[in-house]
Structure 1
Amino acid sequence: MKLSLIIAWLLSFPLGGHAQNVKNMKTSQTAETEIRNVIENYYFKGIYEGNTDILAKAFYKDALLFGDVNGVPYFKTAEQYIEGVGNRISPQKSGKDFKAEIISIDIMNSIAVAKLNVRMYDFNYYNFITFNHIDRQWMIVNKTLTNVQP
């Protein structure tokens, strides 16, 4: 009888609940750090410098881009987008202002969505970037964008 009461009492406590939360928190922090690295050191830097080698490292090869620029529909493959960045005068070389910021990052398992604001030339782009964790790295698999007039 005493043994049954002791077992029942021990089973009333959650097993490993706290340790699991700490592990998930570390994983999320690591994932967010990795995603921020891709955004800041490959995506933003590649756009600013016009460096297609750096920019291509951020994108999954079959990623797609959708949106509108001043009401005009926009659709490109990652390859077309990266090529376009390489064929224009970069914000760095133009000497014009470039301001890029991460507004938010939401992560769930192997997917994430980042909301970004990129101001360059006369554009005020809002981007929603979808990431997927592929082959142990976070890659952009989809980008949607719109230009918001101030």
Structure 2
Amino acid sequence: MYTENIKTIEQVITNYFEGIFYGEADKLDACFTETAIIYGDINGVPYQKSKEEYVNGVRNRQSPNELKETFNMKIVGIDVLGNTAMVKVHLPMLGYNYYDYLSLIKFGDYWKIVNKIFCHVA
């Protein structure tokens, strides 16, 4: 069961990465619950958006792929406890060095991101 959960979570994170990198907003949207909130710190400036605001931002900007960036996103670690998980990811893109902590919950057979906190690390 643990290995199956890890593989399913890795697929959600792959979709998350691809949604962000290629500007595939619908794919990104499907990774989150409807009520997910995104919090962050970009150069000391607080950031807070609903999932809908966040996805629309991705939808309306040039993607890293369109800007000819190299895909360097990766999973740093996954911690699963029962039907909850915490995933740390690294997303160097758009001139930033982002690290995200993604909280996921299992709903039946599906994992969804319920919260994202992130920081740009210089």
The TM-score normalised by the length of structure 2 is 0.97
Q: Give the CA RMSD over aligned residues.
A: 0.8
**Percent identical:** 36
In the other structure, the counterpart of 2:13 is 39
Structure with higher strand content = 2
Q: Which of 54, 65, 72 lines up with 2:38 in the alignment?
A: 65
- Return the match for 2:26 from 40, 46, 53: 53
Task: Give the C-alpha shift of residue 125 in structure 1.
Answer: 0.3
The structure showing larger relative contact order (alpha-carbon pairs under 8 Å, at least 6 residues apart) is 2
Distance 1:77 1:135 in 2: 24
- What is the number of residues matched between the two proteins? 122
Distance 2:66 2:40 in 1: 26
Q: List alignment gaps of at least 5 residues for structure 1.
A: 1-26
2:92 maps to 119
Q: Structure 2: how far apart are the matches of 1:36 and 1:136? A: 14
* Per-residue deviation, 1:87: 0.5
Report the equivalent of 1:101: 74
- Report SS of the residue matched to 2:53: helix
Question: Contact (CA 8 Å) 1:97, 1:121: kept in 2 or not?
Answer: no
Displacement of 1:98: 3.3
**Whole-angstrom distance in 1 between the partners of 2:55 and 2:121:** 22
Match of 1:75 in 2: 48
Structure 1 ranges of 4+ moved more than 6 A: none
CA distance in 2, matches of 1:136, 1:76: 27
**Letter of the 2:107 counterpart:** I
In structure 2, stretches of 5+ residues that fail to align are: none
Q: Secondary structure at the match of 1:91?
A: coil
CA shift, 1:134, in A, is 1.5
Deviation readout 1:78-111 (Å, 9 max, x if unpaired): 1100000001000111112331010000000010
2:118 corresponds in structure 1 to 145
Greater percentage in helix: 1
- Could you tell me which amino acid in structure 2 is paired with residue 88 of structure 1? R
TM-aligned CA deviation for residue 135 of structure 1:
3.6
Residues of 2 paired with 1:132 and 1:69: CA distance?
Answer: 26
Larger Rg: 1
